[in-house]
Amino acid sequence: MTGSGHACIGAFVGALSGSPGKALAVGVVSHAICDIIPHSEAPRALDLVLAGAALGGIAAGFGARSAEFWGAAGGVLPDVEHGLVVAGLMKEQHCVFPTHSGALPHGRNGGFLWQAVAAATALTLATLLRLRRTH
């Protein structure tokens, strides 16, 4: 799944969790679940840029101390390994996250459309939850 998709879905599960600490943890769990579902991958360097942009947008929209932001951060945190591989600081075979190491299956060839719909839906739901709590 794209990093931006992981961020948006992480923001939603973070919103459901209610606290930044729990949000970080459920964001990481959401990453594994989303990785198992068949999906397509963007080129890693582009994906890292898009994930960073999504995190920046979520921080700007919800606040850097919000459960939504920390859920998003947890959602993209496992892909730091990919950044280290792209930077040449780590070899692919040294990845430890279960869906990156092969301990859990990593879905392939599932397309991008469902990811875009899931990300947009998740971010919309996170926003609606926030609006509901503030009104």
**In a domain? residue 104:** yes
pLDDT at position 90: 96
| Residue 111 forms part of a structural domain | yes
Buried-exposed string 47-57: b where 16+ CB fall within 10 A, e elsewhere: bbebbeebbeb
When pLDDT is averaged across residues 29-40 and rounded to a whole number, the result is 94
Whether residue 75 lies inside any domain: the answer is: yes
Model pLDDT for residues 1-15, shown as the tens digit of each residue: 899 999 999 999 999
What's the structural domain count of the chain? 1
**Domain assignment present for 73:** yes
Determine if the pTM surpasses 0.85.
Answer: yes
Region at 109 (left for phi over 0; alpha for psi -120 to 50; beta for the rest): left
Determine, yes or no, domain membership for 84.
Answer: yes
Confidence of residue 135 (pLDDT cuts 50, 70, 90): confident
Domain for residue 63, yes or no?
yes
Tell whether 97 is covered by a domain. yes
Distance CA 97, CA 117 (A): 25
